[in-house]
Amino acid sequence: MNNQPGIKLTDQELVRKSLHGDRHAFASIIKNTEGLVAQIVFKMIPNPEDRKDLAQEVYLRVFRNLEGFRFQSKLSTWVGQISYNCCLNWLEKKKLSFPDPTPGSDEDPLESLSTREQTPSKWNPETLAFKKQSSEIIKREIEKLPPLYQTLISLFHQEEMSYEEIGKITSLPEGTLKSYLFRARKMLKENLLSNYKKEEL
Which of 128, 110, 88 is CA-nearest to residue 175? 110
Question: Does residue 27 belong to any structural domain of this protein?
Answer: yes
User: Which residue segment(s) compose the domain that 61 sits in?
Assistant: 11-93
Q: Given its phi and psi angles, is residue 146 left (phi above 0), alpha (psi -120 to 50 degrees) or beta? A: beta
Lowest mean pLDDT among 35-39, 107-111, 125-129: 107-111
Question: Does residue 103 belong to any structural domain of this protein?
Answer: no
Which of 178, 190, 168 is CA-nearest to residue 85? 168
Report the CATH number that the domain containing residue 132 is assigned in CATH: 1.10.10.10
pLDDT in tens, 128-176: 555 544 477 788 888 889 989 999 999 998 889 999 999 999 999 999 9
- Our count of domains for the chain comes to 2
pLDDT in tens, 89-104: 998 887 665 555 554 4
Report the CATH number that the domain containing residue 60 is assigned in CATH: 1.10.1740.10
- Domain match, 190 and 114 both: yes
- pTM for the complete prediction? 0.74
Question: Does residue 49 belong to any structural domain of this protein?
Answer: yes
The confidence score (pLDDT) of residue 47 equals: 85
Question: Does residue 98 belong to any structural domain of this protein?
Answer: no
